[in-house]
A and B are shown apart, each in its own frame.
Chain A
Amino acid sequence: MTASPPNPKNTAILYACVAAGGVLGSVARYVAALLIPVVSGFPFPTLFVNIIGSFIIGFYSTLSGPDGRLFATTRQRQFVMTGFCGGYTTFSSFSLETVRLLRGGITHTALLYIAVSVVTWLVAVWLGHVLASRLNRLKGS
């Protein structure tokens, strides 16, 4: 993904792309947490952002990949994938919520949260990839 030559100016621009995308993604995650309710202790907001972020990265990386129909520069890919998707999703909140559930003795919800999370994240990234592959194979530009 680092096709561009590593000169200081280019590196600084890539860092700025990641930071800008990361801020946008994190603010979107913050808003999602305000809008989506936690029902019976189950952390739906974090599950939601992690599923959507996994879907977007799977979709975008394939659509803008070597055989993809969307041309994207390294900067654009870093902005969307490393920046936005990376900032939108969070492994640390997932860990904190699970440990809090375990510490609170709500073991079955913790185990359900772990299982549902891992399965849905991976299904989402795979679905995004499959959908983009189909689009890439469509005739026309």
Chain B
Amino acid sequence: MSGLISVILGSALGGVARYFISGFVARRVGETFPWGTLIINVSGAFLIGVFGGLSEDNTSLLAIPDTWLFAVTGFLGCYTTVSSFSLQTLSLARNGEGAPAASYVVVSVALCLTAAALGFGLVDLLR
């Protein structure tokens, strides 16, 4: 039960954070390219790498199941999104923006994996 509550609390925060940042970025740089979702997914991937690295130490806060469910399953799971990424890629492709669509896919996957690896690396470095 406490696990479910952790997911609920974390995801409410994560959803609000994503809505705030995507709106903020859209107002600043426009919506022709999905910069907001890219920034959200890359920053979320970096944090999940940090949390993943921390959780490998059994004495860390993130090794506690409820903390993990709150921060990772709840917050980061709801903060980052594949559905918007897919829909934005489809919209770019359907509008004849083949090159931006392909770049969005490649850049999203490459940056998110690099960010997650960097998060792990940072924890390794500081240990």
Nearest Cβ on chain B to A128's Cβ, whole angstroms:
9
Residues of chain A with a CB closer than 8 A to B52's CB:
96, 99-100
Q: How extensive is the interface on chain B, given as a class?
A: 35 or more
Query: Which of B4, B22, B117 is close to A30, meaning CB atoms less than 8 Å apart?
Result: B4
In the complex, the answer to whether B11 meets A22 with C-beta atoms within 8 Å is yes
In the complex, the answer to whether A86 meets B15 with C-beta atoms within 8 Å is yes
Digitize B50-91: 1 where CB-to-A-CB distance is under 8 Å, 0 elsewhere: 001000000000000000010011101111111111110110
Nearest Cβ on chain B to A42's Cβ, whole angstroms:
17
Nearest Cβ on chain B to A56's Cβ, whole angstroms:
7
Nearest Cβ on chain B to A74's Cβ, whole angstroms:
13
**CA separation between A74 and B77, bound complex, in Å?**
24
Residues of chain A with a CB closer than 8 A to B7's CB:
26-27, 30
Q: How extensive is the interface on chain A, given as a class?
A: 35 or more
Residues of chain B with a CB closer than 8 A to A21's CB:
15
Q: Is B29 an interface residue (CB 8 A)?
A: no
In the complex, the answer to whether B77 meets A93 with C-beta atoms within 8 Å is yes
Residues of chain A with a CB closer than 8 A to B117's CB:
99, 102
Digitize B87-98: 1 where CB-to-A-CB distance is under 8 Å, 0 elsewhere: 101100000000
Residues of chain B with a CB closer than 8 A to A61's CB:
87
Nearest Cβ on chain A to B3's Cβ, whole angstroms:
8
In the complex, the answer to whether A86 meets B78 with C-beta atoms within 8 Å is yes
Digitize A33-62: 1 where CB-to-B-CB distance is under 8 Å, 0 elsewhere: 100000000000000001001101110010
**CA separation between A42 and B47, bound complex, in Å?**
22
Q: Is A18 an interface residue (CB 8 A)?
A: yes
Query: Which of A53, A85, A92, A103 is close to B48, meaning CB atoms less than 8 Å apart?
Result: A92
Nearest Cβ on chain A to B70's Cβ, whole angstroms:
11
Can you name 13 extra interface pairs (CB under 8 A) apart from A91-B85, A121-B85? Answer: A18-B19, A22-B18, A23-B78, A82-B18, A82-B22, A88-B83, A89-B81, A89-B83, A92-B77, A93-B48, A95-B116, A102-B117, A122-B86
Residues of A at the B interface (CB closer than 8 Å) are: 14-15, 18-19, 21-23, 25-27, 29-30, 33, 50, 53-54, 56-58, 61, 78, 81-83, 85-96, 98-100, 102-103, 114, 118, 121-122, 124-126, 129
